Structures are given as C-alpha cells and as structure tokens.
Chain A
C-alpha cells in the first residue's frame, strides 16, 4: 500500500514557464512534508518543506502548497530553468515513538525535463 504517491512519472516544461509537481498521501499521521531533488549519480538533496499547520511555503522560485483536507501537496517552480531538470521526490514525515525517530516515506519520483 503506497502511502505517498506521485502519479506523474515524468513532466516536460518549456524554460521560463511554470512547473507543477503533484503528490498525494494517505496517512493522517504525516505532519511534515518535504521535496527532494536528485540529479543522476548523486544523492537526493533537500529542496523545500512544509509543516502540516501551514498551507504554503516559499523559497525563491520554489513554492510548496499543502491541502490537508485533500491530502495533497504540490511543488511549483517559477520560472523553470534547464538546471531544474532532475528527479523530484515527495516525502512525508512522521515521528514513530516506538522507534524513537522521525521517518520519511517517499513517493516514486517525477522526472522533470525543462526544455530550453
């Protein structure tokens, strides 16, 4: 049972336009959401996050929106640049008291291609 879903395996966008990447989750225990960016042959790098008590968080060209009632979040990149071409992973966090640690559950990723 996939708790975090990224339904679009790939997305192509023209340079300068908006990229919108979507993510859905099912577990109400998740209280913090993150986006990671991954280039080939590198580890994932943290991009932006949002707490479940907020509905929007901005960092430069990147904005994450959270719709808690719909269990949906999205990442907007404006304007898109060729260097944004990468795989983007959505992740949801919960603290597991029995384990004594936060754990992330990842979606399968969306490959973004920004066309010059």
Chain B
C-alpha cells in the first residue's frame, strides 16, 4: 500500500520555465490537497479538490493551476516559475479530517 506518492522528488527550474508536479493516492479518498512549506511558515494550502471534478483555491493560489485528473490523481502546474515559488511542495489526501501526506517535492527556481 503506497499511500500518497509524488513525483519528482527534486527539481530545479529557471525563472519562466513551466512544470507539473504529480500526485497519486491509492486510499480511495475523495479529497486531495496541495500545500507548500517554507521555512518558519508552516504548511500553507495552495489548492484543494473536494471530489473528482472539482477544484478550489486555497490560501496561496497565485502562480499555480491544478487538475484533478481522476479520483486518484491531482496535479499542480507552475506555468511560469518564479524564485518566490522555491519551496517544498506536499500533496495530501483525506476521507474526513485526517490528511495523509506524500513525501514532498523540493523545488528550486533560479
């Protein structure tokens, strides 16, 4: 049972480049989330998907887009990366309150 998986684990981008972070869960959860973690800032919600076919903005959505491809997969896209998007990105899924997290993607934008 893999839980929540994320790819890639590490990525370096130049300013202006685009990329998609992938997330998949095998727990049959309806809700999925994308967070970013910055030093001293805790976890901040970027986007979430309450169920397949729906997505909504979280606390810090600017510069990001998401796609809920199916019940298992939820991707995060950076269309034009900026140095301010250097962060660690976590995907999570949940059935009710308790969320299960993936191992994270460490992204550096130069």
**A interface residue numbers (CB < 8 A to B):** 9, 32, 34, 36, 41-46, 49, 89, 93, 99-104, 106-109
A101 to B102 CA separation, bound complex (whole angstroms):
19
Nearest CB in chain A to that of B6: its residue: A43
Further contacts, 17 of them, CB under 8 A, given A100-B54, A106-B42, A108-B41? A9-B40, A34-B98, A36-B101, A42-B103, A42-B104, A43-B90, A43-B92, A43-B101, A43-B102, A43-B104, A46-B98, A89-B43, A101-B48, A102-B31, A103-B45, A104-B45, A104-B99
Which of the residues A34, A49, A100, A107 comes within 8 Å of B50, measured between beta carbons?
A100
Interface size on B, residues (CB 8 A): 28
Note all chain A residues with C-beta closer than 8 A to B31.
101-102
Note all chain A residues with C-beta closer than 8 A to B48.
99, 101, 103
A53 to chain B, nearest CB (A): 13
DSSP class of A's interface residues: helix, strand, loop or mixed? strand
Nearest CB in chain B to that of A43: its residue: B101
Provide 10 A-B residue pairs closer than 8 Å at the C-beta atoms, listed in order of the A residue.
A34-B98, A36-B101, A89-B42, A93-B97, A100-B51, A101-B30, A101-B51, A104-B99, A106-B44, A107-B42
A32 to B33 CA separation, bound complex (whole angstroms):
18
